[in-house]
């Protein structure tokens, strides 16, 4: 599938918008061009919309006619951008959302019916590569935020739960859906559901595959906040901006430590905290925080 990338210049530029058809031989150069752009740019590939503004990077799944069901292009474009943003010092927070009335409906069922000549081993390797999306959202040093605007089903639920903070519209729906098509679960849903909702509830959600609404998802601890549909973008922007302007090194180690706490013992976390707490104490943001406290003003963090 050939990507068509629309590159819109930052506001105030006197250059025209331009659309570029991307052939396989051109993609690497165009990807490098996308990655080198400054803050405030907006890019639209076939299956994703990419925007960076005020230190917040936003990745929007863009297959609204398919309820943003995952495609290979969508997955690999998303993975490429998350890898880039994870090491970009100018990015303070990452938002993931969907275009239209779905966050992500999971796998594309229409593609499941197609026959192919791949071996089972090749399919397993391919799925492992695609599941890197969930791992990057969970493990990135940046804070990741899911803005759940609608359906988050199957693999889409896994992508949602892999994010650090999950804000949902009151119209959002959540579900595993795997039992309805005879699948077993992917994109981290088994691990994430078990830890957030507990094993008995995770089994129920997998076995019965009944969708739940945003309020029930919040009650189970699957999402952090529920807001009215027309307030979702504003609330997510508020949270993302607050994080992007905060002490990024502190957030990095807070996230890593909480993730480690799911599998490590108390002593291990105490030792880890001794290291990371004092590491944060070496940053400019710590020094600024102390000065601001003493001067009775709000700190101005730089992420360094």
Rg of the chain over Cα atoms, rounded to whole angstroms, equals: 20
Structural element, H or E, at residue 93: strand 93-98
The dihedral built from the CA positions of residue 252, 254, 255 and 259, taken in this order, carries a sign that is positive
CATH classification of the domain holding 282 = 1.10.12
Q: Are residues 107 and 71 in the same domain?
A: yes
Q: What pLDDT, on a 0 to 100 scale, did the predictor assign at position 110? A: 72
Structure tokens at 82: 């998350």
DSSP H helical ranges for the chain:
24-35, 72-86, 109-112, 120-130, 132-139, 155-162, 189-197, 199-208, 214-219, 232-244, 248-261, 266-280, 284-294
**CA-CA distances (angstroms) from residue 262 to 152, 215, 279?**
24, 25, 22
pLDDT tens-digit readout, 51-97: 999 999 999 999 999 999 999 999 999 999 999 999 999 999 999 99
Q: Is residue 62 part of a domain?
A: yes
Q: Are residues 256 and 129 in the same domain?
A: no
Q: Are residues 111 and 213 in the same domain?
A: yes
Q: Are residues 129 and 79 in the same domain?
A: yes
Q: Are residues 75 and 215 in the same domain?
A: yes
Q: Are residues 97 and 140 in the same domain?
A: yes
Q: How long is the chain?
A: 304
**CA-CA distances (angstroms) from residue 177 to 100, 133, 258?**
20, 19, 29
Q: What pLDDT, on a 0 to 100 scale, did the predictor assign at position 228? A: 98
- For residue 94, give its domain range: 47-244
The two beta strands, 151-153 and 102-104, are: parallel
Q: Is residue 23 part of a domain?
A: no
Q: Is residue 147 part of a domain?
A: yes
Q: Are residues 212 and 282 in the same domain?
A: no
Q: Are residues 257 and 279 in the same domain?
A: yes
DSSP secondary structure letters along 24-80? HHHHHHHHHHHHTPPTT-EEE-SSEEEEEETTEEEEEE--GGGTT-B-HHHHHHHHH
Only one residue has tokens 């693999």, namely 155
Q: Is residue 16 part of a domain?
A: no
DSSP letter for 103, please.
Answer: E
Instruction: Please report, in tens digits, the pLDDT of each residue of the chain (304 residues total).
Output: 333 333 323 333 333 333 333 444 444 544 544 444 434 466 666 799 999 999 999 999 999 999 999 999 999 999 999 999 999 999 999 999 999 999 999 988 777 767 778 899 999 999 999 999 999 999 999 999 999 999 999 999 999 999 999 999 999 999 999 999 999 999 999 999 999 999 999 999 999 999 999 999 999 999 999 999 999 999 999 999 999 999 999 999 999 999 999 999 999 999 999 999 999 999 999 999 999 999 999 999 999 9
Q: What pLDDT, on a 0 to 100 scale, did the predictor assign at position 113? A: 65
Q: Are residues 225 and 183 in the same domain?
A: yes
Q: Are residues 283 and 199 in the same domain?
A: no
Instruction: List residues bridging with 53 in a β-sheet.
Output: 56
pLDDT tens-digit readout, 146-187: 999 999 999 999 999 999 999 999 999 999 999 999 999 999
Q: Are residues 165 and 52 in the same domain?
A: yes
Q: Give me the half-sphere count of Cα atoms (radius 13 Å) on the Cβ side of residue 204.
A: 8
CATH classification of the domain holding 125 = 3.90.226.10
Q: Are residues 82 and 199 in the same domain?
A: yes
Nearest Cα to Cα of residue 74 among 61, 85, 86: 61
Please state, in angstroms and rounded to a whole number, the distance separating the CA atoms of residues 173 and 166.
13
Q: What pLDDT, on a 0 to 100 scale, did the predictor assign at position 109? A: 79
Sheet holding 212-213, edge to edge: 102-104, 151-153, 173-175, 212-213
Q: Is residue 3 part of a domain?
A: no
Q: Is residue 177 part of a domain?
A: yes
Number of domains in the chain: 2
Please state, in angstroms and rounded to a whole number, the distance separating the CA atoms of residues 296 and 290.
10
Q: What pLDDT, on a 0 to 100 scale, did the predictor assign at position 43? A: 65
Mean pLDDT estimate for the chain: 88
Q: Is residue 129 part of a domain?
A: yes
Q: What pLDDT, on a 0 to 100 scale, did the predictor assign at position 111? A: 73
């Amino acid at each position: 599938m050939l990507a068509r990338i629309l590159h819109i210049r930052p506001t105030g530029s006197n250059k025209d918008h331009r659309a570029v058809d991307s052939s396989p031989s051109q993609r690497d150069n165009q990807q490098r061009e996308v990655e080198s752009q400054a803050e405030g740019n907006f890019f639209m590939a076939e299956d994703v919309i990419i925007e960076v503004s005020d230190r917040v990077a936003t990745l929007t799944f863009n297959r609204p006619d398919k309820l943003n069901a995952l495609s290979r292009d969508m997955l690999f474009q998303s993975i490429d951008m998350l890898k880039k943003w994870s090491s970009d010092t100018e990015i303070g927070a990452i938002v993931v959302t969907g275009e239209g009335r779905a966050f992500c409906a999971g796998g594309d069922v229409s593609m499941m019916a197609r026959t192919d000549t791949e071996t089972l081993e090749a399919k397993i390797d391919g799925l492992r590569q695609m599941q890197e999306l969930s791992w990057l959202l969970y493990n990135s040093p940046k804070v990741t935020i899911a803005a759940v605007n609608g359906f988050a089903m199957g693999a889409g639920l896994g992508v949602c739960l892999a994010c650090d903070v999950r804000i949902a519209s009151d119209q959002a729906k959540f579900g595993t859906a795997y039992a309805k098509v005879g699948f077993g679960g992917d994109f981290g849903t088994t691990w994430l559901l078990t830890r957030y909702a507990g094993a008995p509830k995770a089994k129920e959600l997998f076995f019965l595959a009944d969708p739940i609404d945003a309020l029930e998802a919040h009650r189970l601890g699957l999402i952090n906040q529920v807001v009215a549909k027309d307030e979702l973008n504003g609330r997510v922007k508020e949270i993302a901006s607050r994080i992007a302007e905060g002490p990024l090194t502190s957030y990095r180690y807070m996230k890593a430590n909480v993730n480690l706490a799911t599998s490590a013992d108390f002593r291990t976390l105490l030792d880890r905290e001794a290291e990371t707490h004092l590491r944060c104490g070496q940053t400019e943001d710590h020094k600024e925080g102390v000065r601001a406290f003493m001067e009775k003003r709000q700190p101005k963090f730089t992420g360094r």
